[in-house]
A = this chain, B = another copy of it.
Amino acid sequence: MEIIRSKSNQLIKQAKKLQQKKYRKTSYLIEGWHLLEEARQSGAIIQQIFVTEDGLHQLDTKSPVKVVSPEILAELSDSVTPQGVVAQIALPQQELPQVLNGKYLVLEDVQDPGNVGTMIRTADAAGFDGVFVSEKTADIYNMKVLRSMQGSHFHLPVYRVNLPALVEHFQTNQVPIYATTLSKDSVDYKKVNIPSSFALVMGNEGQGISDFIAEHADQLVHIPMPGQAESLNVAVAAGILLFSFI
């Protein structure tokens, strides 16, 4: 059995590049047995599996496997305690659905990978039908996002979109847009009647939603805070709203 032990091996060099966004044109990396199983169940195209020798027995013989040394696995891995397996997955080709009818989460320029991943995981838990992320939102194939997302991108579609085009698409489909603000001028989220089909926009951690979204939203909502904190973490705010609106 051949064990790859060299960082200069072409396959390893190619795979390692996928840690950087600019190289993630057609593939991305996932890490750990749980995500690999989720990838398989969702029908994602698994291009290559890198595994250490002691994990090999967990894979069937038909899998596209390369055995690597623990050092090489650590090179491909982003976590402090690598789980013994990293896989290269084909980026899904996702076209915007023609018809929009369901519950959608929209992330406008959310920066923190943990927040992005957590919100997609929460939308998945709440049974949402899809997530749209703006062009400036953290890349969902960033390994930190993947870690906090915990496989939710295998459960519901996540689209990277141009926001003005998305807003127009929602309007054409008569999907009302709710956007969250910190302003008390907007409506208390507990007092809105949410229809069965809608889009909820969460904004950037520091800036909130853009003027463009504020102008085009059908309804601005906020979470009243009786305490002294100035704001909620955006992923916590999203959780409160998503579970209140279902």
Chain A contact residues, CB within 8 Å of chain B? 114, 118, 121-128, 148, 150, 152, 155-156, 223, 225-233, 235-240, 243-244, 246
Q: Return A98 CB to nearest CB of chain B, in Å.
A: 23
A123 → B minimal CB distance (Å)? 8
In the complex, the answer to whether B233 meets A155 with C-beta atoms within 8 Å is: no
- Copies of this chain present: 2
Rounded to whole angstroms, the CA-CA distance of A95 and B56 in the bound complex is 54
How distant is the Cα of A231 from the Cα of B121 in the complex, in angstroms?
8
Of A122, A231, A235, A238, the most chain B CB neighbours within 10 A belong to A122
Question: With A223-B243, A226-B246, A239-B240 known to touch, is A233 a contact of B122 (CB < 8 Å)?
Answer: yes
Q: A118-B235, A233-B239 are in contact. List 19 more A-B contacts (CB 8 A).
A: A114-B114, A121-B232, A121-B233, A122-B229, A122-B233, A124-B227, A124-B229, A125-B228, A125-B229, A125-B232, A127-B225, A127-B227, A150-B230, A155-B228, A155-B229, A156-B228, A232-B239, A240-B240, A240-B243
Contacts of A239 in B (CB 8 A): 232-233, 236-237, 239-240
Q: How far is the CA of A145 from the CA of B121 in the complex (A)?
A: 22
